[in-house]
Amino acid sequence: MSKKQNKLEALNLDAYYGDFHALKGINIAMEEKAVTAFIGPSGCGKSTFLRTFNRMNDYIDGFRVEGQILLDGKDIYQKEVRVDELRKEVGMVFQKPNPFPKSIFENVVYGLKIQGIKKKSVLEEAAEQSLRNAALWEEVKDKLDKSALALSGGQQQRLCIARALAISPSVLLMDEPASALDPISTAKIEELIYELKNDYTIVIVTHNMQQAGRVSDYTAFFYMGELVEFNKTKTMFTSPKDERTQNYITGRFG
């Protein structure tokens, strides 16, 4: 009845770095307004896969994909797709906080400014809304004109989330967003992810099994470039079907 739409899909996706076959025949469909976690040992291809959804791998020499990535049913690797437009729809938060060396305000409104929006009232409103959504407003509202680099690591990461939210994407890709943060900042980011899934489709790469268990609705386990198992997080963590998944989530390797 109220079955949710598939927001993102991969169909027979292969990816290569030169001769290296990084992703092998991946098929997956991710639900709208849900959190999907990608887990797996280092080098398993989960980050590479995440980066195909906003074509962030395009600039890497020798990288190519075969197969399809569908966003709302449309293949984003078609020739006529403009990557800058795509990335306004599919926002990204990186592993290490990477604010621009500009003021907090300039960071948040950067995405709007490059779209040509200049009106101060519009920018200010968007900045406040995005910072509130990223649970950062109360901490920075009195120092919006201060350098973003003066914030703590956790605050910088929430600023990067606010910056991504400001251009109102529908998908948020997060590449180990809390791996460089302390436990308290990590908890804040996780809380935030929980809030954000009401409005956004979220895909998160994480090394932290507990984190995947806490924040995600679905989990995909990658191993050696293959998608080994994809299921509801609860099911996956209580009764994994594949032996490799079981070994990984019980900490026997990785």
Partner 1 sequence: MKVSEKIIEGLLWLSAAITILVTVGIIWVLLSESISFFQEVSLVEFLTEKEWTPLFADKKFGIMPLVAGTLLTTFVAIAVALPIGLTIAVYLNEYAHARMKQVVKPLLEVLATIPTVVYGFFALTVVTPFLQQLIPNLAGFNALSAGIVMGIMIIPMISSLSEDAISAVPRSLREAAYGMGSTRLQTSFGVMVPAASSGIVVSVILAISRAVGETMIVAIAAGQQPRLTLNPLVPIETITTYIVQVSMGDVPQGSLEYKTIFAAGITLFVFTFALNNLSFWIKKKYQEKYD
DSSP character for 147? B
Residues that bind partner 1 (CB under 8 A): 54, 56, 59, 61, 83-88, 91-92, 94, 96, 98-102, 110-111, 114-115, 149, 160, 163-164, 167
Q: Give min distance, CB of 98 to partner 1, in A.
A: 4
Q: Which is nearer to partner 1, 105 or 230 (CB)?
A: 105
**Token code pair at residue 243:** 């032996």
Q: Give min distance, CB of 92 to partner 1, in A.
A: 4
Q: Which is nearer to partner 1, 69 or 236 (CB)?
A: 69
Give the type of residue at 215: V
Could you give the 3-state DSSP secondary structure of residue 162? helix
DSSP string, 109-132: HHHHHTTT---HHHHHHHHHHHHH
The rounded radius of gyration (Å) of the Cα atoms in the chain is 18
Q: Which is nearer to partner 1, 17 or 100 (CB)?
A: 100
CA angle 5, 6, 11 (to 5 degrees): 155
Q: Give min distance, CB of 128 to partner 1, in A.
A: 19
Distance of CA 63 to the CA centre of its chain: 20
Q: Which is nearer to partner 1, 66 or 114 (CB)?
A: 114
Q: Give min distance, CB of 213 to partner 1, in A.
A: 27
Q: Give min distance, CB of 84 to partner 1, in A.
A: 5
- Number of other CB atoms surrounding residue 231 within 10 Å: 16
Q: Which is nearer to partner 1, 35 or 165 (CB)?
A: 165
